[in-house]
Amino acid sequence: MEQNEQKKTVFSAVQPTGTPTIGNYIGAMKNFVAMQDEHDCIYAVADLHSLTVDIAPAVLRKNVTEMTALFLAIGIDPEKSVFFVQSHVHEHAELTWILNCYTQFGEARRMTQFKEKSAKAPENVNVGLFDYPSLMAADILLYQTDLVPIGKDQMQHLELSRTIAERFNNRNGATFKVPEGVLPKYGKKIQSLGNPSAKMSKSSADANSYVLVLDTPEEIRRKFKRAVTDSDACIRYDPETKPGVSNLLTIYSAFTGKDMAASEKDFGGKDYAYLKDSVSDAVIEGLRPIKERYEKLIADKAYLTAVMKKGAESASYRARRTMSKVWRKLGFVRP
């Protein structure tokens, strides 16, 4: 794809850690699709990042293929956007090393995700886990990115990417664009169906607390039926005192495209069973075409491989341009 100077450059990535939840979809991936028409978009499967937790080779291989199919299934168009697999463009690893030297130990140590993941797996607090934000900064800065659509939980990493870019530019002269994060209007954070004070996460022990984008209609209905609400039997958006109901309304808004006022209006005088049914309907209908496209794509490995190859070529070309600037500015002698 031609690089269009007028359009803003968008970059984002998703780790290949299995089928995403509707929280991941609403919080970030849905935005990726929406941004394609007006922006110069670059999207990646962040496979290098997924090595920071214990992952079996067979699982990684399967997950990368499935995530590729899913990106295409949700509507990422490889003719409009650059779509590739992170490890296919070696500049990501190279720039990470450079940016490591522009990241302070104290900054990386303060990252909430690092603290949480370390606490969760104390037997594997590897340096990669610590270094995760430098790799993420490299992903973003390699493409002279203007905008980064992300979920709220990644905002702290994006802030650190900005700090790193500014620090580098201050020492070496203008090299990187300083990116901005873009949060979705609704559904910045989708909560667990079983415990609405926690984020929806597929690592939860309660399999009914999250909906995956490839769940069957029956699974989706069952999970919403069990969703925790409250005893006040009134449907309104109030995340403080009614977190469960507000979460369902948020999901409804995200899938119907209605704003919160219109969504609340749909449920005037209705009961929670009706709300849960309506949310199930909206989610099932929204995911149906994705699921259908996914089934076709995952059966066509040759096509998926061809998409990955083409994407890696376009991304490499652009990554090389930034890296040659970086090497030169830092005084590296090049062959």
State which of residues 22, 64, 140, 254 lies at the interface with ligand TRP (CB under 6 A): 140
Q: Which of residues 177 and 258 has its CB atom nearest to ligand TRP in the complex?
A: 177
Stretch that binds ligand TRP, among 134-142, 197-205, 233-241, 298-306 (CB under 6 A): 134-142
Q: Check the CA dihedral 202-204-208-209 and report its sign.
A: negative
For the CA atoms of 206, 210, 213, 218, the dihedral, rounded to the nearest 10 degrees, stands at: 70
Please report whether residue 315 would count as binding ligand TRP according to CB under 6 A. Answer: no
Q: Which of residues 49 and 242 has its CB atom nearest to ligand TRP in the complex?
A: 49
* 194 within 8 A of 228, measured Cβ to Cβ: yes
The DSSP code for 259 is -
* Coil vs helix vs strand at 21: strand
* 273 within 8 A of 221, measured Cβ to Cβ: no
Please report whether residue 67 would count as binding ligand TRP according to CB under 6 A. Answer: no
The DSSP code for 330 is H
* 35 within 8 A of 3, measured Cβ to Cβ: no
Stretch that binds ligand TRP, among 7-15, 101-109, 235-243, 278-286 (CB under 6 A): 7-15
117: annotated active-site residue: yes
The structure tokens listed for 166 are 């500014």
115: annotated active-site residue: no
In angstroms, what is the minimal distance from the CB of 227 to ligand TRP? 24
Please report whether residue 136 would count as binding ligand TRP according to CB under 6 A. Answer: yes
State which of residues 81, 103, 134, 154 lies at the interface with ligand TRP (CB under 6 A): 154
Q: Which residues contact 180 (CB under 8 A, 6 or more apart)?
A: 146, 147, 148
Please report whether residue 138 would count as binding ligand TRP according to CB under 6 A. Answer: no
In angstroms, what is the minimal distance from the CB of 310 to ligand TRP? 20
Please name the helix (run of DSSP H) or strand (run of DSSP E) that holds residue 159, with its range, or none: helix 155-172
Q: Which of residues 49 and 223 has its CB atom nearest to ligand TRP in the complex?
A: 49
Strand partners, 180: 147
Choosing from 30, 117, 242, 276, the catalytic residue is: 117
Radius of gyration of the chain (CA): 21
Please report whether residue 165 would count as binding ligand TRP according to CB under 6 A. Answer: no
State which of residues 49, 199, 242, 276 lies at the interface with ligand TRP (CB under 6 A): 49
The DSSP code for 176 is S
225: annotated active-site residue: no
Binding site for ligand TRP (CB under 6 A): 11-15, 46, 49, 136, 139-140, 148, 150, 154
